[in-house]
A and B are shown apart, each in its own frame.
Chain A
Amino acid sequence: MTPVLEVRDLSKTFTLHTIDGRTVVSLRGVSLDVAAGEHVAIAGPNGAGKSSLLRCVHRTYLPDSGSVTLHLPDGRVELTSLADRKMARLRGREICYVSQFLETPPRAGALEVVADAARRRGLAAGEAGDAAAESLRRLGLDEALWDVDCGVLSGGERQRINLAAGTVRPPRLLLLDEPVSALDPANRELALSLVSSLTSQGVAVLAVFHDLDAIRQLATRVIRMEDGRIVASGTADEILDDLEAVS
């Protein structure tokens, strides 16, 4: 099966000019594939490079070397060298990145944020509003909060808005970075079932969870990272048992 995402030998080093040009190596030659309908979970300690990997795929970070290839119905696209404008377009439509923290424009309300995301995916203004409402309802966000400035909402509420914006229409590739870390058990369950249903609809998911139960519940494959490298790959049971044994 052709993968949706193909990462080859990806490396990323930060040069901090403000601290005398000190360098911080974040990724040291990472390669992996994610196919449609596959949920690949990345496990590993803090600083292993999990989030950096997601961000390099999303091009929030610009990798130094290696390739990130996205397979689309009409051909393959090399994301590391794609023109900025085309990348911006792909981001709205084919690749969605849900970070741990909600990043929204200042003073925007939940419905506006999610409807915006829907519009970027090509929905007309009216449909986008409906799709946004449905998406927020599905994640159990109280309707009274829909037009409140996201900046004043609780961490859990913000995370759900973030997830709603990322999944208002199923993308081809979904990048999840700790999307449920602030949710209570009931809402966490809602969110996880949403992700699971997207995977079964054929979305390729690359996810970072610290919560091993979530990984067991969702992942079709697990990758373990340490110090910017992939050190192991296998089923959830294989990798997580190992991980638990280590800790």
Chain B
Amino acid sequence: MTTAVRQLLDDPQGAAAGILDEGAKREIRRATLTAVCVPGYQVPFGSREMPVARGWGSGGLQVTLGVIGPDDVLKVIDQGDDGGVNATNLRRIVSSTTHCAADTDTRAATVIQTRHRMPEEVLGEQHVVVFQVPVAEPLRGVQRSSAECDRMHAEADYSAMWVALYEDIVRNGIITQSTGYPVLVNGRYVMATSPVPRWDIPRLHQADHLNLYGAGRERRIYAIPPHTPVNPLTFDDVPFEVEYAPSARCDYCGSDDTYLVEAPGGRFVCSDSDYCARTSAGDSDTAAHRAVAPLAWLPDPARPSVKSQPASLRTGAGSSSPAPEPVRPVAPFDGGDWMLKVDKVGKVFGPGGERAVAGTGPSFGTAVSPLTGAIVAAWDVSFDVAPGEALGLIGESGSGKSTVLNCLIGDERASTGTVRLASVDGGSTDLLTLSAAERRRLRIDTVSIVYQDPAAGLDLRVSAGGNIAERLTAAGWRSYHAIRRRAAELLDRVEVPLSRMDDPTSTFSGGMRQRVQIAKALATGAPVLLLDEPTTGLDASIAAGVLDLLRGLLRERDVAAVVVSHDFAVIEALTDRCVVMQTGRVVESGLTDQLFHDPHHPYTQRLVAAARR
């Protein structure tokens, strides 16, 4: 026992203030109230260190000390039992410094601090359950940056979480996450349930009691207030299941509806020692317990495995496969019907804004402002694209074509100009005025981009199918099988062998990665497709294959495409119209074959001459 704890126990009166002073209590109570008001949201708080090692329940201790009063009855459990060293210590610290009573009987307790279990006993509105949380952030496994996790919560952007579930099912046929299963609280926030078994998850849904979660290391408090919907994350067609050992019973009390742990000799025993002892003694309401036990979530042995071999997903294989997505005929585009309209877009890197523009451009042969030293990467760039049409953006490195594309997609903030999409408010909204979050949402199913570097558009740690699942789940797809079929269909279309569908894309060749990136860009049928040097990083024969693929895809789809390239061969193969850029300006535009056969601007003539190798 540490010296601090010894001092506490020797001088409880004096130590009560020392463990958690009134200021800290207020801070914790304020955070707790906020957490109750916004179910599932992690509220940061500040507090002094607790006299227990982190990982031994310091977060739970802070919350318990913040909410407990002298009339409360405290129960502390660790793995399910009240007698562990840690549970005993915590119970003694709290009861001796707050003068509350302590009891191991769940029925008598009002505040229950716990780590790995929820008590088996039926809980009611008189109960507050305080969970000691080792890792508060449910997204930690899929995203290491805290700032990015915060953004994902703020935008309810949980597709990375869904991809992790998808990958788990692909690899294992089931969701293997056992403890701390992620749940969606009140339809809004994804929350980590601390390391309770899946067995305890269903009892969080619409519970009569209050659940509080305290994470000492991360200094976060979050809560599930009574009567709040709590849904474990799972696909519509992959049921959530609790742990189950066929025909297992507790070796002591005989229960078959409690969470059982394996004991030596192949026996099973209740993890909740309090409930087990009382049941053995005939002092428990077993019928009431059975009513709240998660028996509806036991695995159905008759259910076929969800694991599917990629080959079986091939369209036409198996009777349940739907008809392939019909290839849309190219609707003839008609004059003014643009899908994407870019007007006078400009981007200045550096000081001066509009003042920096004078003295730059093709006639001065530089993009660097003589006045401010800023780089005028693009200025006064305008074009529009109709559905079923492909527009080329050609120019040498540094001509500003990628800058324009980055401004379109939102990777870069344009200095000036407007960008409109016919499908967003009928074209009346300037995309450049939208928030970063709104622009990110547009990228899910409205504007897709294929980058030169596949690593920019793909998560290489994730399988080919998982990368497509990312886009689909972001767009709201929740059927595992529908996602599998759609991914297989897309990969088939871009000629990625289905046998590689479940392999991490890091094991793919460059050309194959690019094909996966294209499939991902097409996944949600976005009406605008941006291609940034799609074949540039590939060697000649592979680039040719990807180019042929893109040509076929653009022909069969009704997308409005913008193709950025420095290679006239790519522009010629893919586009009808073309814009030529030099040092940030549009120097010429026209029909692609006209620019190739009858270029007017000196720069275009040089470009064409260079293309004739």
**What residues of A have a CB within 8 angstroms of the CB of B389 in the complex?**
85, 88
Alpha-carbon distance A89/B594, docked complex (angstroms): 14
Of A11-19, A165-173, A220-228, the segment with at least 4 beta carbons within 8 Å of chain B is A11-19
Q: Give the residues from 571 to 613 in chain B that come closer than 8 angstroms, CB to CB, to chain A.
A: 573, 576-577, 589-591, 593-594, 597-598, 600-602, 605-606, 609
Contact with B along A109-143 (1 / 0, CB 8 A): 00000001001101011000000000000000000
Alpha-carbon distance A62/B332, docked complex (angstroms): 24
Query: Which chain A residue has the least Cβ–Cβ distance from B608?
Result: A18
A93 touches B605 (CB 8 A): no
Contact partner of B605 among A16, A83, A85, A89, CB < 8 A? A16
Query: Which chain A residue has the least Cβ–Cβ distance from B328?
Result: A125
**What residues of B have a CB within 8 angstroms of the CB of A55 in the complex?**
597-598
- Whole-angstrom distance between the Cβ of A110 and the nearest chain B Cβ: 15
- Whole-angstrom distance between the Cβ of B4 and the nearest chain A Cβ: 77
A18 touches B597 (CB 8 A): no
Q: Give the residues from 351 to 371 in chain B that come closer than 8 angstroms, CB to CB, to chain A.
A: none
B598 touches A62 (CB 8 A): yes
Contact partner of B569 among A59, A89, A106, CB < 8 A? A106
A106 touches B577 (CB 8 A): no
B332 touches A85 (CB 8 A): no
**What residues of A have a CB within 8 angstroms of the CB of B332 in the complex?**
89, 93, 122
A84 touches B577 (CB 8 A): yes
A125 touches B329 (CB 8 A): yes
Q: Give the residues from 439 to 474 in chain B that come closer than 8 angstroms, CB to CB, to chain A.
A: none
- Whole-angstrom distance between the Cβ of B332 and the nearest chain A Cβ: 6
B335 touches A85 (CB 8 A): yes
Alpha-carbon distance A61/B600, docked complex (angstroms): 10
Alpha-carbon distance A88/B547, docked complex (angstroms): 21
Alpha-carbon distance A86/B606, docked complex (angstroms): 28
Query: Which chain B residue has the least Cβ–Cβ distance from A91?
Result: B591
Interface centre among A16, A85, A87, A103 (most CB of B within 10 A): A85
A105: interface (CB < 8 Å): yes
B594 touches A59 (CB 8 A): yes
- Whole-angstrom distance between the Cβ of A85 and the nearest chain B Cβ: 6
Alpha-carbon distance A59/B569, docked complex (angstroms): 20
**What residues of A have a CB within 8 angstroms of the CB of B590 in the complex?**
62, 84
Assuming the contacts A60-B597, A86-B335, asked whether A106 and B591 have C-beta atoms less than 8 A apart, the reply is no
**What residues of A have a CB within 8 angstroms of the CB of B327 in the complex?**
125
Contact with B along A1-34 (1 / 0, CB 8 A): 0000000000000111110000000000000000
Alpha-carbon distance A88/B333, docked complex (angstroms): 10
Alpha-carbon distance A16/B598, docked complex (angstroms): 10
Query: Which chain B residue has the least Cβ–Cβ distance from A63?
Result: B598
B594 touches A60 (CB 8 A): yes
Query: Which chain A residue has the least Cβ–Cβ distance from B576?
Result: A88
A106 touches B573 (CB 8 A): yes
Alpha-carbon distance A218/B125, docked complex (angstroms): 97
Contact partner of A85 among B544, B577, B597, B601, CB < 8 A? B577
Contact partner of B591 among A84, A93, A105, A120, CB < 8 A? A84
Assuming the contacts A107-B548, A119-B330, asked whether A15 and B335 have C-beta atoms less than 8 A apart, the reply is no
Alpha-carbon distance A119/B332, docked complex (angstroms): 10
Alpha-carbon distance A84/B555, docked complex (angstroms): 19
**What residues of B have a CB within 8 angstroms of the CB of A17 in the complex?**
601-602, 605-606
B334: interface (CB < 8 Å): yes
**What residues of A have a CB within 8 angstroms of the CB of B333 in the complex?**
85, 89
A84 touches B573 (CB 8 A): no
Query: Which chain B residue has the least Cβ–Cβ distance from A87?
Result: B591
**What residues of A have a CB within 8 angstroms of the CB of B601 in the complex?**
17
B374: interface (CB < 8 Å): no
Contact with A along B431-442 (1 / 0, CB 8 A): 000000000000
Contact with A along B531-563 (1 / 0, CB 8 A): 000000000000010011001000110000000
Query: Which chain B residue has the least Cβ–Cβ distance from A12?
Result: B598
- Whole-angstrom distance between the Cβ of B588 and the nearest chain A Cβ: 10
Alpha-carbon distance A17/B607, docked complex (angstroms): 12
Query: Which chain B residue has the least Cβ–Cβ distance from A121?
Result: B332
- Whole-angstrom distance between the Cβ of B117 and the nearest chain A Cβ: 61
A119 touches B598 (CB 8 A): no
- Whole-angstrom distance between the Cβ of A119 and the nearest chain B Cβ: 6
Alpha-carbon distance A59/B595, docked complex (angstroms): 10
Alpha-carbon distance A17/B386, docked complex (angstroms): 33
A88 touches B591 (CB 8 A): yes
Alpha-carbon distance A60/B594, docked complex (angstroms): 4
Assuming the contacts A17-B602, A93-B332, A107-B544, asked whether A88 and B597 have C-beta atoms less than 8 A apart, the reply is no
- Whole-angstrom distance between the Cβ of B534 and the nearest chain A Cβ: 15
Q: Give the residues from 301 to 334 in chain B that come closer than 8 angstroms, CB to CB, to chain A.
A: 327, 329-330, 332-334
Assuming the contacts A89-B332, A106-B569, asked whether A18 and B609 have C-beta atoms less than 8 A apart, the reply is yes
A61 touches B547 (CB 8 A): no
B600 touches A15 (CB 8 A): yes
**What residues of A have a CB within 8 angstroms of the CB of B551 in the complex?**
105
Q: Give the residues from 510 to 525 in chain B that come closer than 8 angstroms, CB to CB, to chain A.
A: none
Alpha-carbon distance A60/B597, docked complex (angstroms): 6
Alpha-carbon distance A83/B391, docked complex (angstroms): 14
Contact partner of A59 among B334, B555, B591, B605, CB < 8 A? B591
B335 touches A83 (CB 8 A): yes
B386 touches A85 (CB 8 A): yes
Query: Which chain A residue has the least Cβ–Cβ distance from B577?
Result: A84
- Whole-angstrom distance between the Cβ of B221 and the nearest chain A Cβ: 58
Query: Which chain A residue has the least Cβ–Cβ distance from B389?
Result: A85
Contact partner of A84 among B589, B597, B598, B602, CB < 8 A? B589
Q: Give the residues from 57 to 75 in chain A that come closer than 8 angstroms, CB to CB, to chain B.
A: 59-62
**What residues of B have a CB within 8 angstroms of the CB of A60 in the complex?**
591, 593-594, 597-598
B335 touches A116 (CB 8 A): no
- Whole-angstrom distance between the Cβ of A192 and the nearest chain B Cβ: 27
Alpha-carbon distance A85/B335, docked complex (angstroms): 6
**What residues of A have a CB within 8 angstroms of the CB of B606 in the complex?**
17-18
**What residues of B have a CB within 8 angstroms of the CB of A14 in the complex?**
598
Query: Which chain A residue has the least Cβ–Cβ distance from B334?
Result: A89
Alpha-carbon distance A108/B547, docked complex (angstroms): 11
Alpha-carbon distance A116/B554, docked complex (angstroms): 12
Interface centre among B389, B577, B598 (most CB of A within 10 A): B598
Alpha-carbon distance A116/B327, docked complex (angstroms): 14
- Whole-angstrom distance between the Cβ of A219 and the nearest chain B Cβ: 26
Which residues of chain A have a CB within 8 Å of any CB of chain B?
A: 14-18, 55, 59-62, 83-89, 93, 103, 105-108, 116, 119-120, 122, 124-125
Would you list 14 pairs from A and B whose C-beta atoms are within 8 A, ordered by A residue? A14-B598, A15-B600, A18-B606, A59-B591, A59-B594, A60-B591, A60-B598, A62-B600, A85-B389, A89-B334, A105-B548, A106-B547, A119-B330, A120-B330
Other than A18-B606, A105-B551, A107-B544, give 13 A-B pairs with Cβ distance below 8 A: A17-B601, A18-B609, A61-B594, A61-B598, A85-B333, A85-B335, A85-B389, A85-B577, A88-B389, A88-B576, A105-B548, A119-B330, A125-B556
